[in-house]
Chain A
Amino acid sequence: MKKFATIALALGLLTACGANSTAPSSSAAAQEGSSAPASEPASETLSGVVNTSGSTSMESVMLALSEAFKELYPDVTINYSGTGSGAGIEAAQTGTSDIGLSSRELTEEETAAGAVSNVVAKDGVAVIVNPANGVEDLTVEQIADIFSGKITNWKDLGGEDREIAVYGREAGSGTRGAFEEIVGVVDACQLTNEYSSTGDLVGNVAGNENAIGYASLSAVDDTVKAVKVGGVACTEATVKDGSYAIQRPFVMVTREGAALSDAAQAFLDFAMSPDAAPIITVAGAVSANG
């Protein structure tokens, strides 16, 4: 048995080496394909693939930006994967994506570890309930009490006698990070359910009369109702003038010291330029640079 194990191990290593050697060769073949156009000055004939991933709150902004960018540079493909802010920052740091997307400010640890922040927009975190819910206005303290489990029934807030289903986002979410920090419920949330994307949470609040949750203003539509926070409605105007309390930035994250591809750099420049401001507004957020 021991002999067999050593043989298997040796052969396993052999084939593992074989498998390893195929990977560089395939990427080398890829290099051939891409190096020819890349060696030319990439001004008008910009082409390539830009992979972005991260915040699901930034979905509508990203899809709108990439569509507009594609009209300027038809040969560039911008890919967006909604994985969550934490995942986006992580992907930028490890290089699995060209640009990471975060819907919260980067922490000091993250910037110390080489993440570079490029703020493209500001966004409000709307506190949302089902349209059938009679509650219209909550204070920040009430919201904190709901999410930390001190208030468990809508009747305590002037609503019907129903238990509150508290919906939140998964731990890596930028929306959750910003929400918990501003409301003051970091590490104290008693969530009924956790959802891994903005859309999932909105869709589930729309489907449950007992629910309360939070989501990017840009994702709120008429299937849910955004309550006023301390008497201030969550709109683009109140986010812009700072009177709406719960807001955070949309950040494109890059890696310090690592050069972006020409296409990725052009996309980042475009997103940060005033030209992008109307597109960001159409997508429901407030441009930071326009």
Chain B
Amino acid sequence: MQTSVDTPRGLSGRRRAWHWAVRAAMYLSAGATCALALGLIGYILWRGVPGLSWEFLTTQESILKGTDGILPAIQNTLYVILVTLVIVLPLGVGAAVYLTEYATNRRLTGAIEFATETLAGIPSILYALVGMLVFCQFCDLGTTLLAGSLTLVIMTLPTIIRTTQESLKAVPAGYREGAAGLGAGRWHMIRTIVLPCALDGIVTGCILAVGRIVGESAVLIFTAGMSTSMQNFFGSGGLVKSSGATLTVALYVYAKERYKYDNAFSVAVVLLALTLLINLAAGAAGKRAKREEER
């Protein structure tokens, strides 16, 4: 329901003043937010687009030749996304299935949900601290992309659990009862009925997790390293020992360590495009999941 903001006539002076002040504040705030969004995006594009080229996206930088390129960062980002998702998906979906299909003790589910909320609220610098201690040093993985991905698994777990749980809850009870009535075992039912119905929700969770991974910097700086060299993932030891900067970390390296601000802004444009893409994808997947629920 929309309401118009015209001030009706015949209000007392104080009421009029209140209207005037509140309306001014509201328009100012909304205007500021819009100006901020436009200004920020415009500024990044203005500084970053001139440095973008096909070559910038598809080569690695060379000090001796003096050329720039962010292909290694793109590859590292993909590696981290893939490894993290491969590990976190079974864990997160499994946890959500346990919560909705198996768990019977309400206090226990409450505790698990509280733990999930807690994980979601822990700032990334603490994940960086713990990831460095546990994976880099204690597990002896060193500062590698693998250690970074494992830390991100813990970080993205709550996202996957929550979205999956919500979509599992939306699967009609009738489906489950029908399957049970036909004599299907619980695991069989989950595998063939419940999970396929919740697929769109799981996809949404994945997209949100990807968004979080793409945007992460603190964790990866301390656990995955900052190298901008090309990694050979399929060379000997490449999958485990490779270390390097993802796009966000590369931006940080360019901005903070090499004062190549133009490169940093070009990376920012790429990240901006990725963010937009992720938002659109999440919106589309969310809509699909909703339609599924309504059906």
Contact = CB atoms under 8 A, between A and B. Distances in A.
A48 B226 contact: no
A68 B243 CA distance: 19
Contacts of B258: 59, 199
Nearest to B260: A199
B226 A67 contact: no
Given A33-B239, A64-B63, A51 B257 contact: no
Contact of A68 (B64, B111, B257): B64
A8 interface: yes
A203 B137 CA distance: 33
B261 interface: yes
A79 B250 CA distance: 13
A94 interface: yes
Given A68-B64, A82-B226, A48 B237 contact: yes
A261 B238 CA distance: 14
A64 B64 contact: yes
B262 to A, nearest CB: 12
Contact of A79 (B137, B227, B237): B227
A63 B228 CA distance: 9
Interface residues of A, number: 50
Residue among B144, B230, B236, B260 with max Cβ neighbours from chain A (10 Å): B236
A67 B107 CA distance: 58
B84 interface: no
B241 A48 contact: yes
A94 B141 CA distance: 11
A259 B139 CA distance: 19
A63 B237 contact: no
B248 interface: no
Interface in B245-291: 253, 256-261
B231 interface: yes
B232 to A, nearest CB: 5
Contact of A77 (B135, B229, B259, B260): B229
Given A38-B236, A77-B235, A79-B225, A51 B241 contact: yes
Contacts of B143: 51, 53, 81, 91, 96-97
B243 A81 contact: yes
Nearest to A68: B64
Contacts of A287: none
Contacts of B63: 60, 63-64, 67, 283
Contacts of A36: 236
Contacts of A38: 236
Nearest to A82: B257
A82 B253 contact: yes
A36 B144 CA distance: 21
Those 3 A-B pairs whose CB atoms lie nearest each other, nearest first:
A203-B259, A79-B227, A30-B240
25 contacts: A4-B108, A4-B111, A23-B141, A26-B146, A26-B240, A27-B140, A33-B236, A33-B240, A34-B240, A37-B236, A48-B235, A48-B241, A53-B225, A59-B257, A60-B63, A63-B63, A75-B236, A77-B232, A78-B229, A82-B226, A196-B256, A197-B257, A199-B257, A203-B261, A206-B259
